[in-house]
Structure 1
Amino acid sequence: MRESKPNFVFPFPFMLFITHWFLLAFHGSAAESSTYIVHMDKSLFPSVFTTHHDWFESIIDSTKSGTLGHSSIQPQKLVYSYSQAMYGFSTVLTSEELEAVKNSHGFVAAYPDRGGTIDTTHTFQFLSLDSSSGLWHASNFGEDVIVGVIDTGVWPESKSFRDDGMTKKIPSKWKGTCQEGQDFNTSMCNFKLIGARYFNQGVIAANSKVRISMNSARDTYGHGTHTSSTVGGNYVSGASYFGYAKGVARGIAPRARLAMYKVIWEEGLYASDVLAGMDRAIADGVDVISISMGFDGVPLYEDPIAISSFAAMEKGVVVSSSAGNGGPDLGTLHNGIPWLLTVAAGTIDRTFGSLVLGNGQTIIGWTLFPANAIVENLPLIYNKNTSACNSVKALSKVAMEGIILCDLVSDPKIVIKQRRFVKKASLSGAVFISDQPLVNEGYARYPSIVISAKDAQTVIMYAKSHRKPTASIKFQETFVGIKSAPAVADYSSRGPSPSYPWVLKPDIMAPGSNVLAAYTPHTPAAEIGDNVLLPSDYNLLSGTSMACPHASGVAALLKGAHPEWSAAAIRSALVTTASPLDNTQNPIRDYGYPSQYASPLAMGAGQIDPNKALDPGLIYDATPQDYVNLLCALNYTQKQILTITRSGSYNCAKPSFDLNYPSFIALYSNKTRSVVHKFKRTVTNVGHGPAIYRAKVTEPKGSVVTVSPETLSFRYKNEKRSYDVLIKYRKYKKENISYGDLVWIEDGGTHTVRSPIVVAPRGIV
């Protein structure tokens, strides 16, 4: 058995390159002037101008000259121009100049720029949990739901685990404890962190001479502290990563109770310890288990997570797990277990830092240099020689007091090498050009920024057209509202699951890239140069380990809002309401294959949508016996099945691969040119009363999909109705993966219940 490592990339930021709508407050030099946001009418764009940017600049120039030409205020360039999220610009104006702008052709509205606080981790906002109604309010922010986190331990002193605002009565079902150990005593638990245990006997048994460096539930790695605070951390003002993503940190379920079960050690990760931790969590009375790890290359009956999560499912405990970081290859997913939730990782709509040219133009880029370095108004050095950044020798001929602009390269490995060369050459700063997400692996050790190839054209034109071009790199800036997002992270493992490919995995996607959450303060979170290590109480980390606790937190909220729902019902609600569209209302893209839209093998049903999951309309439920029927169909022996079920009370009278699952996957043999798959599904009406649903199918390429009946009529709440799906596929080219969906649409448009469909060759597993 090969144990996997926790599913995160340390840290693995991903760049998003398209300009945003979010504004930073800008302060003019004169007391009587202010920054204004000006909306313009796009339909009145004058044809005399080439771009909207030119039009906006002409408006500003006209207010600074003419009748106001003898103003003592220096002319200001645009602060920002906007053409996506809004149409207009921002600039510094006096009250007189503002009136002149109001009289300009195409003016719509203007108002003062407002300083604001970005809410961190920001992902709760990205998922629309901050709406005036919805899942947060329906669940009272997850109050009294208990989430057990199976991980590397916890740093109890973190502000994220304070119990301010928590009710002072722990639910009576809680049977756990706060286990004492090295540098950890019972007083470190409270009404937020209600339990902490550790399990390392498996590690010790494997090596009797091993010395456990931190023999307690205390986290020395940072992973467990990060994931648990993402699930249910309390409100913390002023959290940031060295000034980036600064704001109010909070977990997805900020009023949930947390319990840590430390099973991952610097000395090793063993299945026995994982089983012990899961076992104890179930016994302690948790409602949700969040586990950001997995075991590769093992059958279900040897997988400690599969085994222990079956027991959790029987007791109504929702288990949320990470898909793994083996992407973008297909068939790399672990935790493809039919009775738990498997979560893929996606990007979010946030980026950091900007490049400001000497002419005032601002380029939004990507940098996480962990200091507010002064890289201002320095010469911008651009050589047509593309090898300038490819060796220390070539860079040594460049002036040190300047910002080098490196040419575009398509291979991310070359850009990473360029970074090393520039760092060794000790230039004042550097601008790298790349559209490859992998370029941003790791934090920036050197004052630099990455910009997109599209934006680079503006920079290059400026450098070529000015005799003495200059630039500044701005650090510790945060921009949100970036389009398009989310995208599937390239590292996120893809299905089908090698352990059980007949259920479509992953189930859903959640934010996993650049998630800010609590961290261990004695573990390096950044580095400057080669020898300056920097700690941080909060860290930006990426991986499916970060996506999993987002889904765990949403599951906790659903558990609070619908305590009567089974684990399968909660998973169904999450799957059928997930969105396959990004924030531009286009299909979600796959960063592993940038030219392609993401398939369900990469993102499941799509991005998790908490508020819609609160009221899904229909759910696909399942009983423990339904899952046993799957195991029976696999021809597992009675003993192998018993390792999972722990009880002989189940039977193999009706073996079947066809689980009542909220998605469909049809695998065909490489040797045959056609396939017919029949699926039977039963849905339960969890709406508010009578309802009629009609089927709408988007057929996978090369397939004919028939749904019978095409209409489902419900007379009352909790009534069940069944239907069949017949997929006929004929291989029209070489082996091919195709996908579509089945959507049940309620008459009146209140609910839509969507299930992805995948048709794929069995050989991809």
Structure 2
Amino acid sequence: MLQKAQIFSLDLQTAVNQQQGPYYFLLFSTCKWSSYIVHMDKSLMPKAFASHEIWYSTTINSVKTQNLESSPSLIYTYDHTFHGFSALLSKDELESIKKSPGFVSAYSDRKVTLDTTHTSEFLSLNPTTGLWPASDYGKDVIIGLIDTGIWPESASFKDDGMSEIPSRWKGTCEVGQEFNASNCNLKLIGARYFNKGVIAGNPNITLSMNSARDTEGHGTHTSSTAAGNYVEGVSYYGYASGTARGMAPKARLAMYKVLWDEGGYASDVLAGMDQAVADGVDIISISLGFDDLPLYEDPIAIASFGAMERGVLVSCSAGNGYPDLGYLHNGSPWVLTVAAGSIDRRPSGRLILGNGLSLTGWTMFPAKAFVKDVPLFYSKNVSDCETAEQLALVPTDAVIICYNKYSAALEMLSFVSNSDAVAGIIISDDQSLYEFNKFPYPGVVISPEQGLEVIKYAQTTSKPTATITFQETFLGTKPAPVVAAYSCRGPSGSNPSILKPDIMAPGTLVVAAWSPNVHSSIIWPNIELSSDFTAITGTSMACPHVSGIAALLKGAHPEWSPAAIRSAIMTTANPLDNTQQQIRDVGTDFDAATPLAMGAGQVDPNRALNPGLIYDATTQDYVNFLCANNFTRNQIYTITRSNNNCSTPSSDLNYPSFISLYNSTLASNTVVTTVDYFTRTVTNVGDGAATYKAKVEAPKGAVVTVSPDTLVFEKRYEKLSYSISIAFTGDKNGTVTFGSLTWIEENSKNTVRSPIVVSPYVNQWE
């Protein structure tokens, strides 16, 4: 049976752009049976069955035929985040299942595609004040990672200073290939692996590592970023040296390995999330996602709804791809969706010319190379550094200057590596360069402005020379953060009426633990280097930062719901960079970043500790939202697992942001006024009575009205509501405009900010 290929990406930019980790594609299948995920209405289970497992098994057995080529078999049963099972079925057997009592919906299992030392300081976490001491560094909060596994011997997972495991924990350390129960400890309290889906989809495969051990590095990196213990003396080959630690150093970790060297399937992801909730995690961190799927077929959206019902916050990456609108995944309103930005740290080298001029450039060459007083070579005929003929003109033992405004810096460096040059000076203003960790040949990248001085020196000096030093790091670089070019933008195709992403966190060249059996850098042409820590890039790296911060907030405010934690993180975010200007976007040539790229802004952990007001939401609120958005009863049941009451549908979810969509297919000279109305309810979580006044920064071309514009709370936990209208008049030419609504507390520093976006409706699925 032919199946449509679906992309399920692990949000690691380097996996695609630097061949770091496998990259899988779903091949079309001609098998007579395939894996399906089936949703059932557990309330209709006949009383004759003692458990849902027996009911599901009996249902599958009832559709078996005499056809020996067909062999329906159960893969997983699910009961915590949704009700149902996955099974290997023929098309006819699936049709028979659909006629069984309690059937809700079914869809094909989908194959997977693989999509620190300074960040805590960059985010202002410190041991004396704020969120770290208030939460006791996340003590006893349990973070579940849905990922590629874990390298338990990493120093980031030592349990020094950890107390006994909380008695509420129900998980286990599952024994497997090269993984024993003793690999877990007071920090890594659980490790499980789920591979029935990938085996069912590939019956003849032999898994290279049939256990929770990480053979790709991704899961080890995300785990240590979220909650790694303190490790001193860490660096990436001499760059970014310091003490590594996760956002929540005292939190517990549990790994649920669902992705394999041989691929991965949605059924395994569902099984991992289902088990994580059953085991008792408080936070789920999942740096992967499904592209181009409606909410009722997106396994992460479905499982995270069940997790939310159990009080578990799910933190997801926004995805890696293009800076164009509408490619974001994980747009469910009940998850926290994280975009990626840069850090104020730059790995560097120093270029010193023979005349004494010293310039700082960018390099990540992973060694302390010896390039001292080497002849400097520049020729207009060779400066492109592109062809073999040009490179043949380069003298042996020289430093070559390359300047080609049409080529990326790393492309020019690769050309230099094929010459006799000792090193290369690359002149480039390619900003995306700073997102990658590969620098396989000695060299340094400098700006065009710096390059003019270097070229002038080379042309006017009889015997020009150059010295390059490596393994330097500069902190406090400006501007920072900037939105990364690879970070996917909203609106989400699955749910455009909710502004996504929610928040931005560090994702570019994040240093964290790594699996030492996976190369972390390379020296040309074929020397692969191993390290216990590496610097990699992606929204995968941003997500666990926020997962760890959510764990800190859970530790400080155990009574807060997932929606309350998300609200505190969003409404206290910072939309400004370290120059106190609007955060810029690398993907749009450093224009001001819109909330469709960065959400509410850069996460600010300490301010999130005391947000003043929160926007909370219940399970029924989400159900009402689904009811109002043209979902069928079966589709709603698939997500919610119950026949919830749709008597009060409302598309106006109590969310801490606002998005007004317009039809961009109208002629560019068409001027139309659109008006959207919203109602929000805020809860006072301050110390007592408080008065807040509204401050509006309206998007260009919009009129924003708030009523009332003053909220007077008489006591803590009091709830008050307000309404807001956004009237937009202008050319519907695809422009995104944005502003904000900020509630400012009188006689206090509390400000509660919500981004406002007016955007064209974008559907990349069409």
By how many angstroms is 1:437 displaced?
Answer: 2.6
By how many angstroms is 1:209 displaced?
Answer: 1.1
By how many angstroms is 1:631 displaced?
Answer: 1.0
By how many angstroms is 1:737 displaced?
Answer: 1.3
Structure 2: which amino acid aligns with 1:734? N
Residue in structure 1 matched with residue 422 of structure 2 by the alignment: 428
Quote the Cα distance in structure 1 between the aligned partners of 2:133 and 2:447.
Answer: 40
Structure 2: which amino acid aligns with 1:424? N
By how many angstroms is 1:421 displaced?
Answer: 1.7
Residue in structure 1 matched with residue 386 of structure 2 by the alignment: 390
Structure 2: which amino acid aligns with 1:652? C
Residue in structure 2 matched with residue 685 of structure 1 by the alignment: 684
Confirm whether residue 216 of structure 1 aligns to residue 211 of structure 2. Answer: yes
CA contact (8 A) 1:143 1:256 kept: yes
Quote the Cα distance in structure 2 between the aligned partners of 1:2 and 1:733.
Answer: 32
Quote the Cα distance in structure 2 between the aligned partners of 1:377 and 1:486.
Answer: 36
Task: Find the partner of 2:148 among 149, 152, 176.
Answer: 152
Structure 1: which amino acid aligns with 2:417? K
Residue in structure 2 matched with residue 548 of structure 1 by the alignment: 543
Q: Deviations over 1:46-75 (max 9, x none)?
A: xxxxxxxxxxxxxxxxxxxxxxxxxxxxxx
Quote the Cα distance in structure 2 between the aligned partners of 1:459 and 1:269.
Answer: 50
Residue in structure 2 matched with residue 761 of structure 1 by the alignment: 760
Confirm whether residue 262 of structure 1 aligns to residue 257 of structure 2. Answer: yes
CA contact (8 A) 2:564 2:614 kept: yes
Residue in structure 1 matched with residue 519 of structure 2 by the alignment: 524
Structure 2: which amino acid aligns with 1:556? A
- Map of 1:77-156 to 2, 5 A cutoff? 120-130=116-126, 132-156=128-152
Quote the Cα distance in structure 1 between the aligned partners of 2:468 and 2:642.
Answer: 63
State the secondary structure of the residue aligned to 1:329: coil
Residue in structure 1 matched with residue 73 of structure 2 by the alignment: none
Residue in structure 1 matched with residue 626 of structure 2 by the alignment: 631
Which segment drifts farther, 206-215 or 274-283? Answer: 206-215
- Map of 1:460-475 to 2, 5 A cutoff? 460-475=455-470
Task: Find the partner of 2:431 among 422, 427, 437.
Answer: 437
- Map of 1:414-425 to 2, 5 A cutoff? 415-425=409-419
CA contact (8 A) 1:3 1:269 kept: no
Residue in structure 1 matched with residue 721 of structure 2 by the alignment: 722
Residue in structure 1 matched with residue 735 of structure 2 by the alignment: 736
Question: How many pairs were matched up?
Answer: 656
CA contact (8 A) 2:696 2:704 kept: yes
Structure 2: which amino acid aligns with 1:543? G
By how many angstroms is 1:156 displaced?
Answer: 0.4
By how many angstroms is 1:390 displaced?
Answer: 2.0
Quote the Cα distance in structure 2 between the aligned partners of 1:554 and 1:322.
Answer: 14
The unaligned stretches of length 5 or more in structure 2 are 19-115
By how many angstroms is 1:534 displaced?
Answer: 0.9
Structure 1: which amino acid aligns with 2:150? V
Residue in structure 2 matched with residue 40 of structure 1 by the alignment: none
State the secondary structure of the residue aligned to 1:353: strand
| CA spacing shift, 1:133–1:338, aligned 2, 3 Å | same
Residue in structure 1 matched with residue 592 of structure 2 by the alignment: 597
Residue in structure 2 matched with residue 500 of structure 1 by the alignment: 495
Confirm whether residue 400 of structure 1 aligns to residue 399 of structure 2. Answer: no
By how many angstroms is 1:566 displaced?
Answer: 0.5
State the secondary structure of the residue aligned to 1:731: strand
Quote the Cα distance in structure 2 between the aligned partners of 1:301 and 1:11.
Answer: 28
Task: Find the partner of 1:5 among 2, 9, 14.
Answer: 9
Quote the Cα distance in structure 1 between the aligned partners of 2:324 and 2:738.
Answer: 17
Residue in structure 2 matched with residue 662 of structure 1 by the alignment: 656
By how many angstroms is 1:655 displaced?
Answer: 1.4
Q: Give the TM-score normalised by the residue count of structure 2.
A: 0.84
Structure 2: which amino acid aligns with 1:654? T
Residue in structure 2 matched with residue 276 of structure 1 by the alignment: 271
By how many angstroms is 1:477 displaced?
Answer: 1.3
Quote the Cα distance in structure 1 between the aligned partners of 2:187 and 2:547.
Answer: 16
State the secondary structure of the residue aligned to 2:699: coil
| CA spacing shift, 1:139–1:361, aligned 2, 3 Å | farther
Q: Give the TM-score normalised by the residue count of structure 1.
A: 0.84
Confirm whether residue 704 of structure 1 aligns to residue 703 of structure 2. Answer: yes
Structure 1: which amino acid aligns with 2:6? R
Quote the Cα distance in structure 2 between the aligned partners of 1:416 and 1:727.
Answer: 46
Quote the Cα distance in structure 2 between the aligned partners of 1:183 and 1:735.
Answer: 54
- Map of 1:227-246 to 2, 5 A cutoff? 227-246=222-241
Residue in structure 2 matched with residue 50 of structure 1 by the alignment: none
Residue in structure 2 matched with residue 363 of structure 1 by the alignment: 359
Task: Find the partner of 2:569 among 568, 571, 574.
Answer: 574
| CA spacing shift, 1:161–1:571, aligned 2, 3 Å | same
Quote the Cα distance in structure 1 between the aligned partners of 2:750 and 2:507.
Answer: 28
Quote the Cα distance in structure 1 between the aligned partners of 2:191 and 2:763.
Answer: 41
By how many angstroms is 1:389 displaced?
Answer: 1.4
CA contact (8 A) 2:437 2:535 kept: no
By how many angstroms is 1:364 displaced?
Answer: 2.0
Confirm whether residue 162 of structure 1 aligns to residue 141 of structure 2. Answer: no
Q: Deviations over 1:620-643 (max 9, x none)?
A: 000011111111112222121111
State the secondary structure of the residue aligned to 2:246: coil
Structure 2: which amino acid aligns with 1:577? T
CA contact (8 A) 1:11 1:443 kept: no
Quote the Cα distance in structure 2 between the aligned partners of 1:139 and 1:250.
Answer: 16
CA contact (8 A) 1:423 1:446 kept: yes
Q: What is the RMSD of the two structures over their aligned residues, measured on CA atoms?
A: 1.6
Structure 1: which amino acid aligns with 2:358? T
Q: Deviations over 1:332-361 (max 9, x none)?
A: 000001001000000111111222223333
The unaligned stretches of length 5 or more in structure 1 are 15-119
State the secondary structure of the residue aligned to 1:635: coil
- Map of 1:196-207 to 2, 5 A cutoff? 196-207=191-202
By how many angstroms is 1:460 displaced?
Answer: 2.8
Structure 2: which amino acid aligns with 1:318? L
CA contact (8 A) 2:382 2:390 kept: no
Quote the Cα distance in structure 2 between the aligned partners of 1:482 and 1:131.
Answer: 24
State the secondary structure of the residue aligned to 2:540: helix
CA contact (8 A) 1:11 1:540 kept: no
Quote the Cα distance in structure 2 between the aligned partners of 1:439 and 1:560.
Answer: 38
Residue in structure 1 matched with residue 98 of structure 2 by the alignment: none
CA contact (8 A) 1:445 1:529 kept: yes
| CA spacing shift, 1:383–1:306, aligned 2, 3 Å | same
Q: Deviations over 1:544-573 (max 9, x none)?
A: 000000000100000001111100000001
CA contact (8 A) 2:318 2:488 kept: yes
By how many angstroms is 1:381 displaced?
Answer: 1.8
- Map of 1:615-654 to 2, 5 A cutoff? 615-648=610-643, 650-654=644-648
Residue in structure 2 matched with residue 181 of structure 1 by the alignment: 176
Structure 1: which amino acid aligns with 2:690? A
State the secondary structure of the residue aligned to 2:272: helix
By how many angstroms is 1:408 displaced?
Answer: 4.5
Q: Deviations over 1:280-337 (max 9, x none)?
A: 0001100100000000111111111111111111111111000000121110000001
Task: Find the partner of 2:307 among 309, 312, 318.
Answer: 312
Structure 1: which amino acid aligns with 2:736? I
Structure 2: which amino acid aligns with 1:436? D
Quote the Cα distance in structure 2 between the aligned partners of 1:420 and 1:669.
Answer: 45
Quote the Cα distance in structure 2 between the aligned partners of 1:588 and 1:357.
Answer: 35
Residue in structure 2 matched with residue 606 of structure 1 by the alignment: 601
| CA spacing shift, 1:270–1:764, aligned 2, 3 Å | closer
Residue in structure 2 matched with residue 89 of structure 1 by the alignment: none
